[in-house]
Structure 1
Amino acid sequence: MRRFRTFFKYFTKNKKAFLKYSGLSFIAGILELFGVALTYPFIIKLLAKEPQAGFFNSPLIIGLSIITLFLVKNALMIFYNYLQAKFTKNIEAELNLSFMKYFLSSSYQESSKISLAQKENILGFLIPNVINNYILRLLNLNVNFFIFGLITLFLIIKFPVATVITMIFAFVIIGLQNLIFKPKLLKIANSQSHASAMYNQRANEAILNIKSVKVSNNEKFFYENYKTAIFNFFKISRQALFFNTIPPYVTEPFIIILLFVLLSVITIENFSEPEKLVASFAVIVSAIFRLSPTIARIQVNLNGINSVLSMVDEFLALCKKFDIQNVKPLKTPDYYQLQDKIELKNVSFGYTKDKQALKNINLTIKKGEFIGIAGLSGAGKTTLADIIAGLFEPDCGEFLVDGKAQNKPLKIGYIPQEFCIINGSIKENVSFGAPEADYNSIVDALKKAQLYDFIIENYKEGIDANPFVDSTGFSQGQKQRLAIARALYSNPDILILDEATSSLDLKTEDEICSVLNSLKGEKTIIAIAHRLSTIKSADRIVFMKNAEIRDIAAFDELISKNKDFKELVELSEITK
């Protein structure tokens, strides 16, 4: 009950629906009870030596009533199963959306702490298991408990001694099964959740790094890693599946024993009255016919619930950790338009308390400037750009826009090293999630990225073409231009390039640099680069070392005044 209350504390609006379906379960139990209870008068009337007059004393009417009850009950159960399927799938979708909303609305700093494999495990494994093996099984338990309880109550009233003896025996059997299987199922559930996360991780390692895997000829290594993980997961899943199939086969022989116990006691009690004895036998057989599968389903559902209790606990812990009730709504922000400059004053930031990624950063960037950020790996270049982009909050210091701390975000276009192409047209790839794609803005962005002429010449559908089906369709340089077009589509104040030319050949890099130079003065450009030729024409270069800004100047001036930068240029083989 603790888990049940906690679950619906987070998803309160679904609690009423759950209780409504519980009410339908009770009605189904009542109909099952009447179907069993009417068997007794039906047999008594049928065997009576002197039939009683009256419409309701007719065996035919009673028999038709029993048939009608079962038809109504079955129709109700079909309707109930439809509602149950609708409810569980709706709530599964709601949970998925709640967690996806958290992943998207939480800060980049928080979201990046959760690995891709963990996110996939939550959305694709944990939530479906919680719904299908906890919530759905609780609903099934409701139905079967009501049927079991009401029919048992009738039997206790009708045959008290025989039923009490039988029920004691039945509860002992069910209790022993739970005692034996519950610890094993809990252990399997713990292992299954871990194994699922591991095989997702191994799949991502192989698929996301396919180029490195192919170049290093390590296909077999990654295949074996994935094979080990997937077989371990399926081995554990096989155990869970096997243990959940056992209860009916264990329960069935005990049901037969219970039937003989009941019939024996009732025979002794009604030996002198043949009509009552036959009627009692008919009621018992009818009741056992309904109770046998009901008890088996109760046991199967209990085992299923026991098998996912650790997953439910993990899920509820995540709901608490992510404060899933209060996830920020997703909405289009009201941007602040840059007028003059952005400033970082005494800004420091660390991914952990022990190590700072930025130390006492002071930097002013004027609107329309082309700023390059250079330095060795680990110098803090990307972290500095992420602070400017608003992905991270400084641990200390000030980030000012036009001399003030702004509540509204800046409109920023981001161009990563690895460009993500979505499965859609060129138009959809440029607009990238914009609610209404503007044709003129898309064309303008493609022209500025020097890609529009290529598209018109090579694709008769123009920007509606989808060259990405079954292949990338574009060269690396063309994809990078598409990335620039996507970044320009929203007409941002600032463009941030994160190693955007590092994987390009020299000719293509020169073409991309030409695009950037054409945007100088129109956009504020911040380019992180290991290949310094990309930022050679920048207005100023910020040279970083050991998480600090060591110098700021134009390319040629920086070579002459900073020894470390000069060495970096020489290593890059860039001449004046």
Structure 2
Amino acid sequence: MNMNLSKRQRNTTIKPFLTLLKETKPSYGLLALAISLSMISTLVGLVIPMFTKSLVDGFSIASISGIQIAEIAGAFIAQTIAGGISIYLLNYVGQKMVAGLRDRLWRKFLVLPVSYYNDNRTGESVSRMTNDTGVLKSLVSEHIASLFTGVISIIGSISVLLYLNWKMTLVLFTVLPLSALILVPLGRQMYKISKGMQDETASFTATLSGVLSEIRLVKSSGAEESEYEAGKSGIMNLLSFGIREGKINAMISPLVSFVFMMLLVVIIGYGGMQVSAGVLTAGELVAFILYLINIVMPLTQLTTFFTQLQKAKGASERIIETLAAEEEKYEGEDKVDGIENAISVEGVTFGYKNGENVLIDVSFKMLPGGVTAIVGPSGGGKTTLFSLLERFYEPVSGEIKLGEHPISTLSLKSWRRQIGYVSQESPLLAGTIAENLGYGLEREVSRDEIRNAAKMAYADGFIEELPEGYNTDVGERGVKLSGGQRQRIAIARALLRNPAILMLDEATSSLDSQSEAVVQKALSNLMEGRTTVVIAHRLSTVVNADQIIFMEKGRITGMGRHEELLESHELYRKFATQQLQMSAPEVNSSSEGEGDRKVYDNNTGGGRRPAYPRIGGSVPES
């Protein structure tokens, strides 16, 4: 049963490649022209042995007229030109095909949901875009013509040989099938090895991408040696596959050479006897040998073609699998008004793939322009709730509504356009500050708008002090800037988006006191007049929120104002007592605390840690 299954799988693996070839819509006219020119070049090559036969059998150069010489020269020139044009056209079609395929993959990667990237490493996706598409390009541009020309050369040569001497031709058929019996199993082995190598290459690429993108973590953790060992393991696995592939190639090439030499010895020996007996002329024997070359050389090319086809099968399967992955649903109603409508979370339950539910029957309502804080122990589901609000995932049950409309019925693009998100990390892309500020905006942003947004985010000061100002390169993931600077750029970016809904993932928790004070002022400007939801790890930052939601193990266990929860919720009261007492020395203790207090006094008008403001938008006085 396993053998039958394996056979069926081998028989069907060519379909993904043909499907991809069809879907990329290559220029079939150019492809046909290129193959036709290759075939013409091959047909011209079939005439050469007959011309050689005539010369050997006593046909002298002196007897050839100028017109015949011109025709022969023209044939050679035509063969050369046709071959060159064919190679160029095949390369052109292959490059266009791979460009179209990469374009489809790139578009697909951008519309795949976040859940896809939870299950697939980035390096594997990069490998799909580069290595696998390169394999397909190589097959089309370098090897596909050999399939047609090889078949024509073999059939044409055998036909002429049967005409010259059918007995000697039958000798060939006793040897060629034997070589096929050896080469076909080797081709199957090559398919398995090639598929394994492509998987290992994708895994190795993923390892490299992950380590190099987090090189600072690697170095700060002293993990160079362990990462070296992990990378070395991938390198050795690739080496193993490469050696196995080399073994197959080492068997194929000598076998082809052995078959050719064996045929050559048989033909020369048997043909020499025929020439001695007067049955065969010397010219016919030379022609026979040349046609034998015209058979063996294309056989080598066909072997290479089928080897490359095995690689293309594996690449096609992975690309087809990626292209078939479920996309985010972008269609829906475009008229989204997040300014005047409340956001309702109604009975939402959610769990990640093959896992327990992270959110269980969560329900609450956020009024327009209000501030809702979500607090609670780690692992309570706060970040997951944010992901659902941004529609990175869909609830298992329940729904989230904007006014009376479930957000699942709204256009994904228009819904996300309503949201401004500022996280702890404030990720930036490699590029200039100006490019990061205008990132994702569909409209052109003037330099004045950028400056105004930076001013409101209290980022204009440090930006203008940089040597290149707004044209300063921030480095990969913004590593050339401090945490507070990245936060202020993220806030300025959110201001430029002018969102109706603001999501803050404790945007100040990782900052020092001075940076935090400045960022808090910037957040005050950003939050004004917007519906705001805040993930708060420190209760001291949200005591003045319009409502505080306390989450434990995916459930809401308390909801209300700070004062209400202090009275009604025991765990919240415990959290508040611990945290507010811990924060008190920052304000009241000696030298360091006084320094912090001066910062807050100078920047927020208060002597305590600034809290996220209520609807008015200004940081409350103490």
Match of 1:529 among 523, 536, 545: 536
One-letter amino acid matched to 1:407: L
One-letter amino acid matched to 1:378: G
Q: Does the CA-based 8 Å contact 1:134-1:304 persist in structure 2?
A: no
Match of 2:410 among 391, 407, 418: 407
| Inter-partner Cα distance in structure 1 for 2:433 and 2:526 | 22
Q: Report deviation, 1:62.
A: 4.2
Aligned partner of residue 357 in structure 2, secondary structure: coil
Deviations 1:184-211 (A, max 9, x none): 3233224313322332343244334434
Compute the TM-score of the two structures, normalised by the length of structure 2. 0.81
Q: Does the CA-based 8 Å contact 2:256-2:300 persist in structure 1?
A: yes
| Inter-partner Cα distance in structure 2 for 1:441 and 1:565 | 42
Please name the residue that 1:442 is paired with. 450
Please name the residue that 2:593 is paired with. none
Please name the residue that 2:110 is paired with. 104
**Residues 1:349 and 2:359 are matched in the alignment:** no
Compute the TM-score of the two structures, normalised by the length of structure 1. 0.87
Q: Report deviation, 1:162.
A: 1.6
Please name the residue that 2:551 is paired with. 544
Identity of aligned residues (%): 21
One-letter amino acid matched to 2:94: T
Aligned partner of residue 360 in structure 1, secondary structure: strand
| Inter-partner Cα distance in structure 1 for 2:265 and 2:35 | 29
Map of 1:83-162 to 2, 5 A cutoff? 83-132=89-138, 136-162=142-168
Q: Report deviation, 1:313.
A: 3.6
Q: Does the CA-based 8 Å contact 1:95-1:127 persist in structure 2?
A: yes
Aligned partner of residue 500 in structure 1, secondary structure: coil
Please name the residue that 1:21 is paired with. 31
Residues 549 and 111 of structure 1: is their aligned pair in 2 closer, same or farther, counting only changes over 3 Å?
Answer: same
Q: Does the CA-based 8 Å contact 2:420-2:502 persist in structure 1?
A: yes
Residues 215 and 343 of structure 1: is their aligned pair in 2 closer, same or farther, counting only changes over 3 Å?
Answer: same
Map of 1:98-497 to 2, 5 A cutoff? 98-132=104-138, 136-179=142-185, 181-241=186-246, 243-244=248-249, 246-269=251-274, 271=276, 277-307=281-311, 309-319=313-323, 321-322=324-325, 334=334, 336-338=336-338, 339-352=340-353, 355-405=356-406, 406-408=409-411, 409-410=414-415, 411-439=418-446, 440-459=448-467, 461-468=468-475, 472-497=479-504
| Inter-partner Cα distance in structure 1 for 2:125 and 2:60 | 74
Structure 1, unaligned stretches of length 5 or more? none
One-letter amino acid matched to 2:403: D
Structure 2, unaligned stretches of length 5 or more? 1-10, 585-607, 609-622
Residues 567 and 37 of structure 1: is their aligned pair in 2 closer, same or farther, counting only changes over 3 Å?
Answer: same
| Inter-partner Cα distance in structure 1 for 2:441 and 2:544 | 32
Q: Does the CA-based 8 Å contact 2:37-2:85 persist in structure 1?
A: no
Match of 2:576 among 563, 569, 574: 569
One-letter amino acid matched to 2:262: I
Compare 388-397 and 9-18 and name the one that shifted more. Answer: 9-18
**Residues 1:505 and 2:504 are matched in the alignment:** no
Q: Report deviation, 1:401.
A: 1.0
| Inter-partner Cα distance in structure 2 for 1:49 and 1:300 | 38
One-letter amino acid matched to 1:165: V
Q: Report deviation, 1:477.
A: 0.5
| Inter-partner Cα distance in structure 2 for 1:220 and 1:547 | 39
Q: Report deviation, 1:246.
A: 4.5
Residues 25 and 458 of structure 1: is their aligned pair in 2 closer, same or farther, counting only changes over 3 Å?
Answer: closer
Please name the residue that 2:589 is paired with. none
Q: Report deviation, 1:544.
A: 0.7
Deviations 1:302-331 (A, max 9, x none): 233335544444444444x427xxx78989
Q: Does the CA-based 8 Å contact 1:424-1:466 persist in structure 2?
A: yes
Q: Does the CA-based 8 Å contact 2:139-2:308 persist in structure 1?
A: yes
| Inter-partner Cα distance in structure 1 for 2:297 and 2:60 | 37
Q: CA RMSD in A?
A: 3.3
Compare 233-242 and 41-50 and name the one that shifted more. Answer: 41-50
Match of 2:47 among 16, 24, 37: 37
Aligned partner of residue 489 in structure 1, secondary structure: helix
Residues 110 and 195 of structure 1: is their aligned pair in 2 closer, same or farther, counting only changes over 3 Å?
Answer: closer
| Inter-partner Cα distance in structure 2 for 1:396 and 1:331 | 21
Deviations 1:15-42 (A, max 9, x none): 6646853563344334333333254256
Q: Does the CA-based 8 Å contact 1:101-1:330 persist in structure 2?
A: no
| Inter-partner Cα distance in structure 2 for 1:87 and 1:329 | 33
